[in-house]
């Protein structure tokens, strides 16, 4: 078998379709996930399934992590470090804090391994179609080495030193979070005023207000379809990390959006799609759609 020896750790909404694309690109893919049943489809597609994260990386050239948060990435990294071959690269495609990425890079460099932080934007659709925007921080030579591999998943761009990828992702999530709230408010304004909301949204898509959020998530809001392509709880985590990274920088719209997503989590919407922020806005005004 040709192709690179690639390990993928974490097979959630994003990790599973990304791993499948790497299999389809002809790489030798080994996968591990704590919940074993999530590996079944990948095994049928040709991936090798490991019994532990350490076993998964034992002979890899590159390991990709796609996990839920900082703590999850740190725990998996500690587990795989003793088994990771010298000279291997870890590419963390999770969304974590920039300082977390820098700490992971230092651990790997001390073991003669390499690290790139490469979070993504584009959601489950982008993961499936290989159209993700991949924001890569780290050594330029390491980026050049792995850019072709990442190209099977989307469009990788080197945005600066270690941690810069995560900083770019936080900027992305700031824009997405604020825009999600604005789209929800705009649709409620149209609804309350008696407009044909669907027609008005089509008109907005033709002007300066056009965005992927208005297109994709606006449609989900109108259709009441909140099965997750990404989670409310993840959006809240990312907005919390935005404010941590900001330090004493004042980001008032980020703070308002963060509090709105925290309210949604309190309403038990954390496992719904980010578009469900519409329901939180609706409850402030009138009975939400069922």
**pLDDT at residue 290 above 90?**
no
In sign, the C-alpha dihedral spanning 101, 107, 111, 112 is positive
Same domain, 154 and 172: no
Our answer to whether residue 169 is catalytic in this structure is yes
Confidence of residue 144 (pLDDT cuts 50, 70, 90): very high
In the predicted model, what is the mean pLDDT of residues 241-259? 97
Task: State which of 161, 177, 208 marks the end of a domain.
Answer: 161
Structure token digits, residue 75: 């725990």
Residue pair 268/280 in contact by the 8 Å Cβ criterion: no
Helix, strand counts (H, E) of the chain: 14, 9
Domain containing residue 185: 167-283
Task: State which of 111, 141, 161 marks the end of a domain.
Answer: 161
| Residue 217 resides in a domain | yes
Same domain, 103 and 219: no
Same domain, 119 and 227: no
Instruction: Please state, for a pLDDT cut of 70, what percent of the chain lies above it.
Output: 98
**Catalytic residue from among 48, 107, 155, 169:** 169
- How do strand 132-138 and strand 154-160 relate by DSSP bridges? parallel
pTM tops 0.75: yes
Residue 81 is given by DSSP the state: G
Same domain, 141 and 171: no
Residue pair 92/69 in contact by the 8 Å Cβ criterion: no
Q: Closest Cα to residue 175, out of 135, 222, 220, 225?
A: 135
Q: What is the CATH number of the domain that holds 141?
A: 3.40.50.720
**pLDDT at residue 2 above 80?**
no
Same domain, 225 and 240: yes
Task: State which of 129, 161, 193 marks the end of a domain.
Answer: 161
Helices (H), 61-139: 70-80, 98-109, 123-129
Number of domains comprising the chain: 2
């Amino acid at each position: 078998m040709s192709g690179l020896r690639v390990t993928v750790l974490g097979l959630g909404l994003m990790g599973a379709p990304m791993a499948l694309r790497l299999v389809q690109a002809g790489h030798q893919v080994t996968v591990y996930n704590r919940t074993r049943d999530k590996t079944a489809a990948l095994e049928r597609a040709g991936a090798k399934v490991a019994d532990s994260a350490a076993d998964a990386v034992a002979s890899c050239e590159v390991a990709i992590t796609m996990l839920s948060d900082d703590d999850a990435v740190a725990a998996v990294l500690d587990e795989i470090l003793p088994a990771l071959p010298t000279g291997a690269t870890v590419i963390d495609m999770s969304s974590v804090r920039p300082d977390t990425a820098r700490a992971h890079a230092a651990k790997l460099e001390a073991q003669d391994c390499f690290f790139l932080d490469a979070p993504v934007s584009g959601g489950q659709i982008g993961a499936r179609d290989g159209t993700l925007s991949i924001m890569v921080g780290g050594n330029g030579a390491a980026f050049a080495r792995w850019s072709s591999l990442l190209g099977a998943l989307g469009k990788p761009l080197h945005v600066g030193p270690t941690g810069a990828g995560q900083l770019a992702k936080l900027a992305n999530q700031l824009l997405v979070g604020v825009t999600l709230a604005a789209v929800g408010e705009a649709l409620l304004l149209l609804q309350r005023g008696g407009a044909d909301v669907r027609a008005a949204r089509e008109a907005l898509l033709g002007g300066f207000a056009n965005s992927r959020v208005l297109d994709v998530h606006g449609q989900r809001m109108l259709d009441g379809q909140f099965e997750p392509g990404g989670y409310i709880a993840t959006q809240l985590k990312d907005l919390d990390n935005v404010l941590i990274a900001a330090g004493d920088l004042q980001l008032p719209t980020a703070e308002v959006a963060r509090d709105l997503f925290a309210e949604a989590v309190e309403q038990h919407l954390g496992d719904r799609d980010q578009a469900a922020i519409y329901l939180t806005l609706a409850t402030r005004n009138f009975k939400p759609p069922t």
